[in-house]
Structure 1
Amino acid sequence: MSELPLRAQLASVLGRSAAGLSRATGRGDGSVIGGRVALKVQPDLLSRLSRGRRLALVSATNGKTTTTRLISQALREFGAVATNEQGANMPTGHITALSTEKSAVNGVLEVDEKYLPQVIEATQPAFVVLMNLSRDQMDRASEINLLAKKWRTALGKTNTHVIANADDPLVAWAGLGAPNATWVSAGQRWKEDSWCCPECGAHLNRESDPHWECPECGLARPQAAWAVDNDDDTLVAPDGQRIKLQLNLPGDANRANAAIAAATAAGYGMHPERTIERLREIRSVAGRYTSVVTMGVEVRLLLAKNPAGWLESFAVLDPPRVPVILGVNAQVPDGKDTSWLWDVDYRVLRDRRVFVMGERRTDLALRLETDGVPFEVADRVDEVLGRLKSERPDITKVDVIANYTAFQQIRTAYGRVQ
């Protein structure tokens, strides 16, 4: 990384100091406040901190934090990595991440979907990693077709190399705006936001999954160089080599994240076999998929923020004998509009014991009632465990699915488990 001018160095130091003070006083991890302080001193600091680095920007509606962590884990084979893998995914968080690892040549930054064009322009990254686009935070987020158009326009103005999910039409269309691309067949379980062609608006032909094409304008799924075989738990590399994944993170979504990570790490010169070896070391990401034992019961934490995320969480639930707690809030980080609950099919939960909690548990309860899912209302996880233990002293496991702030509240109750 090139030497920073004195003013930029001062901004970076003040930002790190503010972040450290935030952590020391228990107000947070300091990522946001550190970046805000630094930007006050040097408004173009993100651009300056990015110079001389090989950055990968990771953006998607779901899986950004996990994939950022996976790519960072792989690239640490080469040394220090500047990253915001705890999820502070706006420019303030990027500045803190780059300031913290001043000498790291390689960097992996999770980027909020709305900020991606701005961050591409500021950082001129080596790689942009795109995984999925679906409805999310509908009261404050852009309509996703408009978001995809902004991505496509931004990518067309840069020489960056895109690594993208060919199976998501919106992502593929955006990625086709870039001059260079590597395509990954990473799958798309949630298809309700991508039945229409992003180019001309016609109805897409999706009869032979994962292939898709538009019968009107000819837009079609790009040929993928990398692929995931979920049935065989295998990554298929461009040369045809098949590598067993055997991850410690559950589900098809994480196999997809790992495939994207392997393709990205290959761009840095890392062999996919070694990448997968390193990815197997990860068991949780910022509390996601973590299990904690309390009152003699293993409590597994799953984060789901939107319909696509809830669908993936349902896919990794334990057998029906394991109860599930659902938590929904509607604070600013969640989006205050909970109408998305009606886009989720909860009927898969009919055969298990279900508890609802969170600030918007009444909304969730009404939705479950409409789908014929019996439920019980609770205030806290330990309250649920107390009820269950009094009825079933032999119970050993409970799954928890919660949206963002509800998830963080539960995680904090257990000491912000990693």
Structure 2
Amino acid sequence: MTQLPLRAQLAATLGRTAATLSRMTGRGDGSVIGGRVGLVLEPDLLRKLAKDRKLVLVSATNGKTTTTRLIVSALQELGDVASNAFGANMPAGHVSALAQDKHAPYAVLEVDEKYLPEVIDTTGAGVVVLMNLSRDQMDRAAEIWLLAQKWRRALAGKNTHVIANADDPLVAWGASTAQHVTWVSGGQRWREDSWCCPECGGPLDRKDNDWACRECAFRRPQPTWWLDEQNDLVIDPYGQRWPLHLQLPGRANASNAAMALATAALFGLAPSTALDRLRQVKSVAGRYTTVERDGRVIRLLLAKNPAGWLEAFDVLDPPPVPVILSVNAQGPDGRDTSWLWDVDYRVLRGRPVYVTGERRLDLALRLDVAQVPFQLAEHIGDAFAAVPPGKVDVIANYTAFQQIRAEFGRAV
């Protein structure tokens, strides 16, 4: 990498120092404060830190952190990789991650959907991975078609290679202005936000993962990579079939792996080599981590919007394994909990259900309407105490998940 200018070096150094102090004093993991300090001293620090790196940006509503982790794992075959491993996905987090590994020739950054255009412009990233768009944080996030529109504008005229999920109409529309696109059939289980054509507003005809507008020429692009969910394998552009055999559970992670394999191929990595590394990943920033406490084997799952809850339900252990649900409504979660009514909780019938979190009463009302029996617990510790020894799954939204991680010493 090119030597940083003196001002940028000083900003990066002080940022790393602030991050270290944050971790040492237990105030956080340092993934944001270091970047904030650096940007105060050098507002153009992100651009300077990104210069001369082979940079991948990963954006979506769900699965950003996991897909970022999978791509990092694959690219480590080639050398050191800088990444915002704990999901600090706005510019301050990006600065902190790049400053922490200032000599790494590769970088993979998870990027918040709203910040993606800004980060593309600032970093000049060579590769952008786009996976899905659905409703999230409804009290403060724009309509998702507006996000897709911003993606289109950001990618137009850029010499950026996009890896995009062809099965999500909003993603396909957002990526369609890019000069170079590798289309991946990654699947789309949650379709409630994409029944209308983003190009003209007409209805979309859908069958399996295929879709086409009834009133204009907009239709699903032809993929070159395919996820075969039923057989747990990915088909590459040459027709070769690659069994996944991931340690990460569920169909969503199979889709994430397909995106990661297509991305790794851009860097010259064979699927066999990339898969060997993907199969070593068993937890991501606490997600899917299993911990033991007082005879209980607790698995942690994150779900922060309707699409995410659908995927979390997909990986639950079968009844009668109990499940603890925890919902907050702090700033990072979005304060509007009306999205709870878009989740079909009837799948939880037949198992013990415990409800906790700051908005436990909102969730309790939703479960009552869905005729799902449950027990209320004021604190997460009370919920753990009420569960009998043995396996238990925990599903929590963002800040509730972080609180539970803190309860276990930020297990990762």
Aligned to 2:248: 249
Q: In the alignment, is the contact (CA less than 8 A) between 1:295 and 1:385 conserved in 2?
A: no
Aligned to 1:161: 161
Task: Point out the more displaced range, 23-32 or 184-193.
Answer: 23-32
- Answering whether residue 100 of structure 2 is matched by residue 106 of structure 1, we say no
- Answering whether residue 5 of structure 2 is matched by residue 11 of structure 1, we say no
Equivalent position SS for 1:31: coil
**How far apart are 1:227 and its partner, in Å?**
1.0
**Alpha-carbon separation, structure 2, partners of 1:45 and 1:291:** 38
| Amino acid corresponding to residue 311 of structure 1 in structure 2 | L
- Answering whether residue 285 of structure 2 is matched by residue 286 of structure 1, we say yes
Structure 1: gaps (5+ residues): 390-394
Q: In the alignment, is the contact (CA less than 8 A) between 1:226 and 1:236 conserved in 2?
A: yes
* Normalised TM-score (structure 2): 0.99
**Alpha-carbon separation, structure 2, partners of 1:384 and 1:103:** 45
Aligned to 2:215: 216
Aligned to 1:397: 391
| Amino acid corresponding to residue 290 of structure 2 in structure 1 | S
Alignment of 1:69-84 (within 5 A): 69-84=69-84
**Alpha-carbon separation, structure 1, partners of 2:383 and 2:168:** 38
Aligned to 2:66: 66
Q: In the alignment, is the contact (CA less than 8 A) between 1:165 and 1:186 conserved in 2?
A: yes
**How far apart are 1:396 and its partner, in Å?**
1.4
Aligned to 1:239: 238
Alignment of 1:252-267 (within 5 A): 252-267=251-266
**Alpha-carbon separation, structure 2, partners of 1:276 and 1:25:** 38
**How far apart are 1:32 and its partner, in Å?**
0.9
| Amino acid corresponding to residue 104 of structure 1 in structure 2 | A
Alignment of 1:167-316 (within 5 A): 167-206=167-206, 208-316=207-315
Task: Point out the more displaced range, 239-248 or 374-383.
Answer: 374-383
**Alpha-carbon separation, structure 1, partners of 2:271 and 2:126:** 19
**How far apart are 1:265 and its partner, in Å?**
0.8
Deviations 1:72-111 (A, max 9, x none): 0110111110111210100001011111111111110000
Q: In the alignment, is the contact (CA less than 8 A) between 1:59 and 1:129 conserved in 2?
A: yes
- Counterpart selection for 1:406 from 391, 400, 403: 400
Cα distance change of structure 1 residues 240 and 352 upon mapping to structure 2, 3 Å threshold: same
Aligned to 1:146: 146
Q: In the alignment, is the contact (CA less than 8 A) between 2:31 and 2:86 conserved in 1?
A: no
**Alpha-carbon separation, structure 1, partners of 2:386 and 2:248:** 29
**Alpha-carbon separation, structure 2, partners of 1:141 and 1:359:** 21
**Alpha-carbon separation, structure 2, partners of 1:62 and 1:250:** 15
Sequence identity percentage: 65
- Answering whether residue 39 of structure 2 is matched by residue 45 of structure 1, we say no
**How far apart are 1:114 and its partner, in Å?**
0.6
| Amino acid corresponding to residue 114 of structure 1 in structure 2 | K
**How far apart are 1:170 and its partner, in Å?**
0.2
* Normalised TM-score (structure 1): 0.97
Deviations 1:17-62 (A, max 9, x none): 1111111111111121111111111111111111111100000000
Deviations 1:103-147 (A, max 9, x none): 111110000001000000000111000000000000111110000
Aligned to 1:392: none
Equivalent position SS for 2:40: helix
Equivalent position SS for 1:95: helix
- Answering whether residue 383 of structure 2 is matched by residue 384 of structure 1, we say yes
Equivalent position SS for 1:181: strand
Equivalent position SS for 1:253: helix
Cα distance change of structure 1 residues 48 and 373 upon mapping to structure 2, 3 Å threshold: same
**Alpha-carbon separation, structure 2, partners of 1:296 and 1:261:** 37
Q: In the alignment, is the contact (CA less than 8 A) between 2:127 and 2:162 conserved in 1?
A: yes
Aligned length: 412
| Amino acid corresponding to residue 265 of structure 2 in structure 1 | A
Task: Point out the more displaced range, 82-91 or 373-382.
Answer: 373-382
Kindly report the root-mean-square deviation, in angstroms, between the aligned alpha carbons of the 2 structures: 0.9
**Alpha-carbon separation, structure 2, partners of 1:144 and 1:260:** 21
Structure 2: gaps (5+ residues): none
Equivalent position SS for 1:289: coil
Q: In the alignment, is the contact (CA less than 8 A) between 2:356 and 2:383 conserved in 1?
A: no
Equivalent position SS for 1:82: strand
| Amino acid corresponding to residue 402 of structure 1 in structure 2 | A
**Alpha-carbon separation, structure 2, partners of 1:131 and 1:388:** 36
Q: In the alignment, is the contact (CA less than 8 A) between 2:204 and 2:214 conserved in 1?
A: yes
Equivalent position SS for 1:286: coil
**How far apart are 1:308 and its partner, in Å?**
0.2
Equivalent position SS for 1:365: helix
Q: In the alignment, is the contact (CA less than 8 A) between 1:83 and 1:109 conserved in 2?
A: yes
Q: In the alignment, is the contact (CA less than 8 A) between 2:357 and 2:380 conserved in 1?
A: no
**Alpha-carbon separation, structure 2, partners of 1:128 and 1:386:** 44
